[in-house]
Amino acid sequence: MLIISAGCAKPKQTQGNLLSVDFPSDAPLRYKLTSDRNVELNFDPGGTLSKGKDAGQLQTMTEKLDMVVAYKAIKTSDTGTTVEVTFESVAVARSSMSGRGNSGQDPVSSIQGKKIKFDVGPTGTIEDANEFRVLLEEVMKQAFGGKSSGIKDPELTSDLIALVWFMWDPISSVPSPASGVEAGDTWRSQVLAPMPMPMNLARGVEYTFKGVEPNQAGVGVIDANYTVSKERAPREWPFPYSGSFQMRGVFGFLRGYKVLGVEGAGEYRYSIELGRLETMEQDYKAEIKAEMPFGLGTEGTTPKPNMIIKQKLSAQLLK
């Protein structure tokens, strides 16, 4: 299988199946993109203060981002494609640790109706995303109430980045694109793990090309397996947080976050004939421990909060 660039002339197929990334110029590709997160936070998992009882210690919250995003080629050359990205609809739903819904508008909702441009390189890599970075800065400004620092409201910026920036990672991360891949081949990459607190956390991912779906002619399947990344997130990833600030809510109250584990799986389905992503599903779990901002009792009796984050990310091409 050969991996080729978005919008570029396709080489002759010599073996296997040809997997490509392509964008039409006559009509946009419209996707429903969703990030759905459930957080279970236990303030005293060891029962040091509650005497072994979990009652009143375990709290839950949910966050969900639903978007319809359209992609359309506006300029194509031998080196890649300039793609216009339109955020047609953006909806955020959130419940607090108390179980009540959040009536305030998430800053990410402000991107609804906005358009930006990407330059997508020969292997599906986003090479020029300046307009996307500017968009993220505008979201951050709203999160800080129009200021550049201070107290930040909760926002789903990392979810937006995880869905948009890593859309074609299974293609762009192939180590030798000109050599192609065949059924059973595996390769590794890193993708963002969106979190309810500002953490530029990378997931390690191993992709496996499973071949063509037997019951759906022309649909190639790539499986993904997620673990904790052994390397830090690359500096070129969008990360709109800088300086020191305080975050509102429980995630601003806690300190010293440390990732204990990440595990999960995903699946990507591509139309080989049309050169486009059909569906994407990611489902993983992360365990994180935190620290109290002050001691309660002795060092041995101070609670050590622990949280389980269950995360789903999905993409569906709208017909």
pLDDT digits (tens, 9 = 90+) for 75-118: 988 888 999 999 999 999 998 765 555 556 899 999 999 999 99
Domain count, the chain: 1
Sheet holding 126-128, edge to edge: 126-128, 115-120, 80-95, 58-77, 29-42, 306-317, 276-291, 255-271, 219-228, 202-212, 186-192
Assign 53 a pLDDT band (cuts: 50, 70, 90). Answer: low
* Whole-number percent of the chain with pLDDT over 70: 83
- Across the chain, what does the average pLDDT equal? 85
Most confident of 11-15, 63-67, 208-212: 63-67
180, 3 in Cβ contact below 8 A?
Answer: yes
The residue ranking higher by pLDDT, 148 or 234, is 234
pLDDT of 292 reads: 81
* Whole-number percent of the chain with pLDDT over 90: 50
Assign 284 a pLDDT band (cuts: 50, 70, 90). Answer: very high
Cα–Cα distance for residue pair 39/49, rounded to 1 Å:
22
pLDDT of 188 reads: 96
158, 165 in Cβ contact below 8 A?
Answer: no
Residue 73 has pLDDT above 90, yes or no: yes
| Structural domain harbouring 299 | 3-317
- Asked which of 72-76, 214-218, 284-288, 302-306 is least confident by mean pLDDT, the reply is 214-218
Average pLDDT over residues 230-238: 90
- Asked which of 91-100, 188-197, 257-266 is least confident by mean pLDDT, the reply is 91-100
Half-sphere CA count of 242, side-chain side, radius 13 A: 9
Residue 204 has pLDDT above 60, yes or no: yes
pLDDT of 251 reads: 83
Q: What CATH number is given to the structural domain containing 243?
A: 2.30.230
